[in-house]
Every structure is written in structure tokens, then in C-alpha cells.
Amino acid sequence: MKKPWAGRFKQKTSGLVESFTESVSFDSRLWKHDIAGSIAHAKMLSKQKIIPKKDASAIVKGLEKIAKEIATGRFRFKKELEDVHMNIESALTNKIGAAGKKLHTARSRNDQVALDLRLYLREETGGITSLILEIQKSLLKIAEKNADILMPGYTHMQRAQPVLLSHHLLAYIEMLQRDRSRFEDCMKRMDVLPLGSCALAGTTLPIDRASVAKELGFSSVSKNSIDSVSDRDFAIEFLSCSSVCIMHLSRLAEELVLWSSEEFGFIEISDTFTTGSSIMPQKKNPDVAELIRGKTGRVFGSLIALLTIMKGLPLSYNRDMQEDKQPVFDTVDTIKSCLEILNKMLPEIKFNALRMRTTAGEGFSTATDLAEYLVKKGMPFREAHEITGRIVLYCINSNKDLISLELKELRAFSLNISRDIYTALEPAESVKKRTSYGGTSPSEVKRQIKQYRQMFRK
Ligand code: ARG
């Protein structure tokens, strides 16, 4: 197989080198974007009279045929032709003859691969943000359906204060909202055309980069040809956005794992989204959630991999950069599959409202309410904190709950306490009173739910 760069060489490439340097086994995935870029490029070359019109139309038709062959599995990618770019170009020349040899005019694989990866990631990033939105909608639906369920809110993994389950779920909607905006922001910098930078220094031929940008739907053209072929920031940013996003998914997954344990007993995940044990017949395991949590490792790994690949590279293009693709592809696959399955699993979760509500009232979770009750009676907060702490200690020593203390026991600590304290110590009441902006009160949570419903409808 003759290489497109064979002219300067006298000897054949070693088979070992072919296997070591090839990328077509993984970058063939970029074929659609490679062809789209080539069609736009050929049209521009003809418009600028760099190649004859009839050659350009032969190129376009040939590329369209190749696209059909690839899409229907009739195209054979060859390792000897290194990468997706040379495979497609060589197939084109075989198909249409001499005109095919004009396609690579005023272009290099360096700006070509930069273009392909941008086109690919722009498309995938759009898909990922839509998947995130779907999860947000699922969470919102669950929050609305279970708006009144109380649960213990935690800090340090210790029961802290009662909260609404819906409020807790809205916290994830917030995280995902930031994730979406991060991906959208990253898309802005992805949305720049590198093609026309050629190998690194531009070209002597009269190309029109703006028209290619327009044809491919890019908002702007890259400003520096050396930077254009050396830059992988957009891919690093994508991996970084993905890392933050999957870190959030992992936290949610971790809570699902904990909550479905017998110790918590907050949720049950349906049989369809759990798996069994090969030895212990009683087990029903939250493997999907565990794997989402586990797959976080490979996404973080990909980010570190690409940062490391890039950190020592002198300008401009270096072959090291071919190593950018697998981490990017793997991350796209991983984050999409996690988002998809999580979205399907969420509606399969049943909440044990009674258990959540009961535990919400345990563990002195309304101690802060008692302190704030005293503050409302005119006591400085520090003093109220101290007294409440002493009451809690008294409870621990006498094996009692705050709410089961007699009024006279309570008044032994402060005469500011009267009968209305018992309402304040109810978890439902505690939640109801937390009406501060962003707080857990039903009125506040309802307002947030309404806001999201409107936002997601747009
Ligand atoms: N397969 C290469 C990559 O992914 C394409 C660019 C090759 N450029 C070169 N000068 N060898 O980076």
C-alpha cells in the first residue's frame, strides 16, 4: 500500500512501526466529521479557483459515496494508511482518480485533525447537555411527587437537621445546572475553526477560511495558525467539565448506595435496576449506582492523561497529540452511558417515607430549633447554644429524646422555655419554619420547584 507521504522515502515502513503509530483503529470514529470538513474545504477551494469546479464536485460526490459505504459497514479501514484522514483520502483517489489528489491542497492533517475533533466534541457536548437536562427533569418530577417527605439532613455524615427530600434532590438539580452551564461555556471555545492553519504556518494559496467556518457552522476562525494546530485546550476543558459532572453523579450514586442499605433503609431500587449475588441468595445490590461511582475514576484519569500529554510539548503539532483521542472518546462514552442509565434508574426508586420521617426526628435533630427558640425569647445565640447543649447531654445521660422531656425538666435549664417548645421540636415544624431564601421550608422548596419547572419548559 503506497503511503500518501511516500515520495521522500526509499524503504518500506516497518510493520512494527505501522502498528505502533496507527490511529485508525480508534480515530475512524471521526469519519463523519472528517468528511464534512473535507466537503467544506473542497467547496472553498473551488470557490477560490484553487481547484476546478468539476474536480470539487467529483470530490464532494466521491466523499458522499464513501460516507454511505462507511455508514453501511461496507468500508474497510486499513492500518497501513495510518489514520482516518489518509484512509478516506486514499479511498477517494481510488474512486475518482486524479481529482482526489487535489483535496489536500492548502491543508494538513494537523489542522484537519484539530477540526475533526472540534466538530466531534461540539456535537457530543450538545448531546451531553441534553442528557443532563433530562436528569434534571427526572429529579424535578421526583421532587414534586415526594414534595412532603421529611428526611434527616446530614453534615459530617451525622444527622444534623430535618430537611425535605425534595430540597435534597433540588441540590442535585443545582449541581447539574452548573454542569450544563460549564459544558455550554466550553462549547464557546470549541466553536472556532482551525482549518486553513495548514501544517502550522498557513498557506501561500488564496484560501477563504471565513467561508469554511460559515459552511461548518463555526462562529469564528482561529487567529494564530501555530496555536491552532497545537491547541487541545478545548478537549482538556471538555474532560474537565466531564470530571466535575461525573463527580456530581458519583455523589448521587453514593447516596443511592447508602440509602438502599439496610442501615439506612430510605429507598428501594426496583429489581430491574439492581443485581443479585452469585453466592448470597438474599442480596439485591445497587451495582448500577456503584458503577457510576466507579467509572468516575476513568474520567478523572482521562483528564490527567491529556494534561500530561500536553504539558511538555513545544509548539506546534507533535505526534504525542494523537494520544488525545482515546481519553476523549472514552469519556464521551462513559459520561453518556452514566447519564442515560441514571435517568432510567431514578424513576425506579421507591422512597420509604415513614423510615425517612422517623429518622428525621431522631438524634436531637431539632436541637438548633431549641436554640433558635431561645434566641427568639431574647437570649444571645451563644448562651442558647450552651444551654441546648446541656439539655442534649442531659438527654443522653437519661436516655431520652428532646421531645420526650417534661416541661419542668426543660425549665430547669431555662425559664424562657414554655409549652410552645413542643411544636418547635417537631421535625415537620422545624422544616416549615426554615423559610429563609434557599432554605428547606415547603414554601421555599415549592418556589424553587416552580422556578425550575418554568426554566425547563423553555
Ligand atoms: N493521526 C494524527 C493525530 O491524531 C493526525 C495528524 C498527523 N499529523 C502528522 N503530521 N503526522 O494527531
Contact, 348 vs 260, CB < 8 A? no
Note if 242 is an active site residue.
no
Rounded CA-CA distance 118/231 in Å is 11
Alpha-carbon Rg for the chain in angstroms: 31
Question: Measured in angstroms, how far is the CA atom of residue 3 from the centroid of ligand 1?
Answer: 14
Q: Which atom of ligand 1 is nearest to the CA of 325?
A: 4
Grid coordinates given for 237: 476543558
Spot the catalytic one: 14, 156, 278, 436. Answer: 156
> Is the dihedral angle over the CA atoms 437, 438, 440, 445 positive or is it negative?
positive
State the pLDDT at residue 175: 98
Grid coordinates given for 246: 461525573
Q: Which atom of ligand 1 is nearest to the CA of 84?
A: 1
Give the residue among 108, 249, 246 at the shortest CA–CA distance from 172. 249
Rounded CA-CA distance 228/222 in Å is 6
State the pLDDT at residue 278: 78
User: Which of 18, 319, 325 has most ligand 1 atoms within 8 Å of its beta carbon, as the pocket-test mutant?
Assistant: 319
Grid coordinates given for 39: 466537503
Give the residue among 353, 356, 296, 335 at the shortest CA–CA distance from 135. 335
- Per DSSP, the residues of 249-316 read HHHHHHHHHHHTSTTT--EEE-GGG-B--SS-TT--B-HHHHHHHHHHHHHHHHHHHHHHHHHTPPSS
Question: Measured in angstroms, how far is the CA atom of residue 109 from the centroid of ligand 1?
Answer: 6
Q: How far is CA 399 from CA 385, 403, 405, 421, in A?
A: 20, 12, 10, 20
Which sequence spans correspond to the domains of the chain? 15-105, 110-147+160-352, 359-457
User: Looking at the chain, how many residues does it have?
Assistant: 458
Protein residue whose Cα sits closest to atom 4 of ligand 1: 322
State the pLDDT at residue 7: 84
State the pLDDT at residue 127: 98
CATH homologous superfamily for 359-457?
Answer: Fumarase/aspartase (C-terminal domain) (1.10.40.30)
State the pLDDT at residue 64: 98
User: Which of 17, 22, 110, 320 has most ligand 1 atoms within 8 Å of its beta carbon, as the pocket-test mutant?
Assistant: 110
pLDDT tens-digit readout, 54-75: 999 999 999 999 999 999 999 9
Note if 277 is an active site residue.
yes
Spot the catalytic one: 220, 277, 418, 443. Answer: 277
User: Which of 108, 109, 200 has most ligand 1 atoms within 8 Å of its beta carbon, as the pocket-test mutant?
Assistant: 109
**pLDDT(279) > 80:** no
CATH class of 15-105: mainly alpha
Q: Assess whether the previous peptide bond of 38 is cis (omega < 30° from 0).
A: no
Q: How far is CA 193 from CA 16, 114, 229, 331, in A?
A: 35, 9, 11, 23
pLDDT tens-digit readout, 216-256: 999 999 999 999 999 999 999 999 999 999 999 999 999 99
- How is domain 110-147+160-352 classified at the architecture level of CATH? Up-down Bundle (1.20)
Rounded CA-CA distance 402/395 in Å is 7
Grid coordinates given for 79: 492500518
Ligand 1 pocket, residues with Cβ under 6 angstroms: 23, 27, 83, 109-110, 113, 317, 319, 321-322
**pLDDT(362) > 80:** yes
Query: 130: part of which helix (H) or strand (E)?
Result: helix 109-145
pLDDT tens-digit readout, 190-209: 999 999 999 999 999 999 99
Q: How far apart are the first and last CA of the chain?
A: 54
Protein residue whose Cα sits closest to atom 7 of ligand 1: 109
